[in-house]
Chains A and B, each alone.
Chain A
Amino acid sequence: MLQIPLWKRIVILGLCALGLIGAAPNLFYDRVERHNDAVAAVERTKVETEQQTAAIDLWPSWLPSAIVNLGLDLRGGAHLLAEVQVADVYKQRMDAMWPEVRRALVSEAKVAVRRIKGAPDELRVEIDKPEAMEKAVEVVRGFSSPVVTLTGVGQNDLAIRTEGNQIVVTLSEAERVATDDRTMQQSLEIVRRRVDAAGTREPTIQRQGDDRILIEVPGIGSAAELKELIGTTAQLTFNQVIRRSANKDEPAGVGNVNYPSAEDEGVYYILDELPVVTGEELVDARPDFDQNGRPAVAFRFNTSGARKFGDYTAAHVGELFAIVLDGKVISAPQIRTHIGGGSGIITGTFTPEQTNNLAVLLRAGALPAKMEFLEERTVGPELGQDSIDAGRVAAIVGTVAVVFFMIASYGLFGVFAAVALGLNLSMMFAILSTMGATLTLPGIAGIVLTVGMAVDANVLVFERIKEELKTARGPARAIELGYEKAMSAIIDANLTTVIAALILFFLGSGPVKGFAVTLMIGLITSVFTAIFVTRLFVVTWFARKRPKTLVV
């Protein structure tokens, strides 16, 4: 009848114990956090300082040390949603192709060509002899290669069509898809490296949808700071200087650009738009000092970069050579000799800190495309702390009131429910901690709401027992029937709420997602505690006391 097999009892009590142990670190949040930080730091640097040893000793290492991640709205920090301008890459590809296409058309198809301004993602070439069109198209077609993707088998990367005496080259649909994916992966990787280099705690960097990146960094002062860290492009290029200028509106001419100097106000450089070497060919960059002891950044190119750099410097001795970062000329030194080894230094009026940042930016590589920020949020740490405090007070008041209400309504059974509620809360925290889920402000609300709703399953059972007591034969049977008959209502009622929570989880973002997670975990643990834990209490109590009558 009212028997729970021993193994089941052990499993139930074991899970409760796990819940208590798993939740415990959260009671000593600061200590455990310092302990964890120190452990992570030691692992990274392989050296243990005295301070770190002290921090590690704050929490015994044999206890679980997972704690709930606090969301940005609780800890403070910055959130950015960036859209990568994937189409930028199409333009870069077309621009990079143009010199080679021009050379090939002139030498192989024997036509005179010029590039016509068209849409940014196309290469529009006009040829002077319409009769040579067929040959010209064939030459251009020679530049295309098959796309290697799962879906784009058999497709070429270039789509070539003719319009009168113009050849229009664009990237094919399959190549665009493949390029977009590469662009996104590269952007993600670079953003991650840049944010990691700054050493902030547990940043979240995720791809969202086709062309977006979500960046959340706790503990950073503001979204503006984060943007600076990521840099919008950080495209490093080395360009030929056509001439210096003092006017930002001076027309640069076809194929040239006018960029300001990063250091000297009012100094502008007219540069060849097409870079000689780009940051992508950089293999290393580190902070250094020049021969006068001023901070500088030393860099080294890969083989192809070194060759281009060497050839160019050999051919242009005495000219100015611009180092351009994000559309600003960092410095434009004069080329004194041929630089063969593929390495050099960038000097300017840097502080040692700036050279360090610049080296990090360069090492991480250039973002392949520009990013536009669609959404940004900053929460200060004080506001987060206020929210935690308020949430804590609300949770305590709510729990105490609910416990009082349950005990007042159900007496001893209410006590059982109250203990189960406590276990339920600790299990929630244990699961949230071990899953590495993030607790947000709406998440706290979710917990408080669960406190209110968690007793529902118990109430359903208790009410049912009460009813069965009126008709059934004896209290034992009433308890058994109470659990049995309340089950379908409990399952149906909770599953429907789980549906809502699941949808919230999949469609929601940020704090709302955090709410959905806590709500869902709360539903699961509350059903578990109600149908297993409370039942174990009731059954054990009943077996001991064997009451003739039962008042619920």
Chain B
Amino acid sequence: MAFRLRLVPQQTNIDFFRWAPVTFWGSVALVIASIVLTVFLGLNFGIDFRGGTTIRTDSTTPVNVGAYRDVITPLNLGDVTITEVFDPTFRDDQHVAQIRIQAQEGDEAITPETIGQVEAALQSVDPSITFPSVESVGPKVSGELIKTAIYSILTATVAICAYIWLRFEWQFSVGAVVALVHDIALTVGIFSLFQIKFDLTIIAALLTILGYSINDTVVVFDRLRENLIKYKTMPLRDVMNLSVNETLSRTVLTSGTTLIALIALLVFGGDVIRGFVFAMTWGVVVGTYSSVYVAKNVVLMLGVKRDWGKKPEGGPGGTTFADSNS
């Protein structure tokens, strides 16, 4: 037969629990580090979450941050951040900057007059400048958006946890949730570390990470459930190892194809969604790791009831989708 790409050998027999203490405590340390980072460094919240205005500028002449600042400062708009944006997808003579203005006292969204003043000021420095996007969010909405974001992540976690509990055992559910918390914490942590803009799309990314990570975890759990019935006397640790090894090829392939697609987006997708794509790429890496190392470690620690023989195939809910299409 033809040549086949083999990322994973036909038969693997890796002992994933050999380094269990290291990986487990390593993960714990990373989660703590992420939380500490987030608390002390804080997150670079976008206007979605703290209100204010961003103006994107586009010009054929190079961005001069100093000159921009000089003309905006006299307008007394409070805290103004100006950053130049670089991207491989830009044309040679395309120079883009992002200007962020804090929420103005007394106004919800920014007034057209203020935007007009800022635009006029910038045009005086650089006549070729255009403003491809202007966004303004009032403090009232931004407060609600934070709340909704937190609710949605909590709801998703609880809903997924409940689903796993129905379909598997509660230990699996705990394992899955610990893995999810791990993934979220590490993603938020890296956003804090590099001070990448954290806005509404990142929340969407976080929820997708939840979905992806749980997807991975469920595949291994599914195999574990099957093997627990098959090998009733094998120690739990060995059954788990066997299950991870059996699904390893799939895990690597799926993560591989997903990462390929995401990296294509990261490189070619433009700077507008780079943060969003970065969060997902990182999440896929962390999510794959956590389903192998975190979720299973937790299940191993909790132990699993082994008298599954009476209820083959189905979970404790007694439901099974398995043969609906065969």
Contact = CB atoms under 8 A, between A and B. Distances in A.
Contact of A380 (B130, B208, B322): B130
Interface stretch (A44-52, A175-183, A400-408): A400-408
A495 B163 contact: yes
Nearest to B200: A512
B241 interface: no
Contact of B134 (A222, A451, A500): A222
A458 B109 CA distance: 48
A376 B40 CA distance: 32
Contact of A448 (B207, B262, B323): B262
A120 interface: no
A402 B261 contact: yes
Given A459-B250, A496-B160, A377 B136 contact: yes
Interface string A275-295: 000000000000000000000
Contact of B151 (A399, A484, A507): A507
Nearest to B138: A374
A170 to B, nearest CB: 25
Interface string B228-267: 0000000000000000001101100110111111101101
Given A373-B108, A504-B207, A224 B115 contact: yes
A448 B262 CA distance: 7
B280 interface: yes
A223 B54 CA distance: 13
A172 to B, nearest CB: 27
B133 interface: yes
A500 B208 contact: yes
Interface stretch (B19-27, B66-74, B186-194, B211-219): B211-219
Interface in A386-404: 386-387, 389-391, 393-395, 397-399, 401-402
Nearest to B152: A507
Interface stretch (B76-84, B270-278, B295-303, B304-312): B270-278
B211 A500 contact: yes
Contact of B5 (A409, A444, A507): A409
A494 B321 CA distance: 12
Residue with the highest number of chain A CB atoms closer than 10 Å, among B132, B253, B265, B272: B265
B135 interface: yes
B4 A531 contact: no
A496 B164 contact: yes
A496 B215 contact: yes
B interface SS class: helix
A390 B276 contact: no
Contact of A512 (B155, B204, B246): B204
Given A487-B322, A507-B148, A378 B89 contact: no
Nearest to B261: A452
A445 B321 contact: no
A488 B313 CA distance: 9
Contacts of B141: 81, 374-375
Contact of B272 (A375, A383, A409, A519): A383
Interface in B80-122: 89, 108-110, 112, 115-116
A138 interface: no
A504 B257 CA distance: 24
Given A445-B273, A448-B264, A493 B257 contact: no
Which bucket holds chain A's interface residue count?
A: 35 or more
A489 B223 contact: yes
Contacts, number: 263
A379 interface: yes
B218 A489 contact: yes
A223 B223 CA distance: 53
B203 interface: yes
Contacts of B320: 488
A508 interface: yes
Given A489-B219, A489-B222, A394 B138 contact: no
Contacts of B280: 445, 449
Contacts of A455: 253-254, 257
Given A405-B257, A449-B258, A463-B249, A508 B204 contact: yes
A234 B219 CA distance: 59
Given A383-B133, A492-B218, A451 B152 contact: no
A210 interface: no
A411 B112 CA distance: 59
A interface SS class: helix
A38 to B, nearest CB: 29
B167 interface: yes
Nearest to A72: B133
B56 interface: yes
Interface string A482-517: 011101110111111101110110011101100110
A82 to B, nearest CB: 9
B210 interface: yes
B322 A386 contact: no
B270 A387 contact: yes
A441 B208 contact: no
B5 A397 contact: no
A487 B1 contact: no
A227 B223 contact: no
Contacts of A496: 160, 163-164, 211, 214-215, 218
B201 interface: yes
A415 to B, nearest CB: 11
B156 interface: yes
Contacts of B151: 507
A374 B136 CA distance: 8
A235 to B, nearest CB: 20
Given A374-B141, A484-B322, A445 B160 contact: no
B259 A499 contact: no
Residue with the highest number of chain B CB atoms closer than 10 Å, among A455, A492, A504: A492
B4 A488 contact: no
A507 B146 CA distance: 11
Interface in B166-191: 167
A24 B257 CA distance: 26
A503 B215 CA distance: 16
A128 interface: no
A453 interface: yes
Contact of A531 (B264, B265, B269, B325): B325
B159 interface: yes
B134 A377 contact: yes
Contacts of A508: 152, 200, 203-204
Contacts of B272: 73, 383, 387, 441
Interface in A339-368: none
A161 to B, nearest CB: 32
B286 interface: no
Contacts of B267: 394, 397
Given A483-B326, A489-B223, A493-B215, A442 B89 contact: no
Given A484-B322, A512-B203, A375 B138 contact: yes
A411 B1 contact: yes
A498 to B, nearest CB: 8
A393 B212 CA distance: 24
A326 interface: no
6 contacts: A380-B130, A408-B4, A452-B257, A496-B164, A496-B218, A507-B151
Interface of A: 73, 81, 83, 222-224, 227, 372-380, 382-383, 386-387, 389-391, 393-395, 397-399, 401-402, 405-406, 408-411, 441-442, 444-445, 448-449, 451-453, 455-456, 459-460, 463, 466-467, 480, 483-485, 487-489, 491-497, 499-501, 503-504, 507-509, 511-512, 515-516, 519, 531, 551
- 9 A-B pairs with the lowest CB-CB distances in the bound complex, closest first: A452-B261, A452-B258, A390-B270, A497-B211, A383-B132, A500-B211, A224-B112, A398-B264, A380-B132
Given A374-B138, A488-B313, A493-B222, 6 more contacts: A373-B108, A375-B138, A380-B133, A398-B260, A487-B326, A499-B156
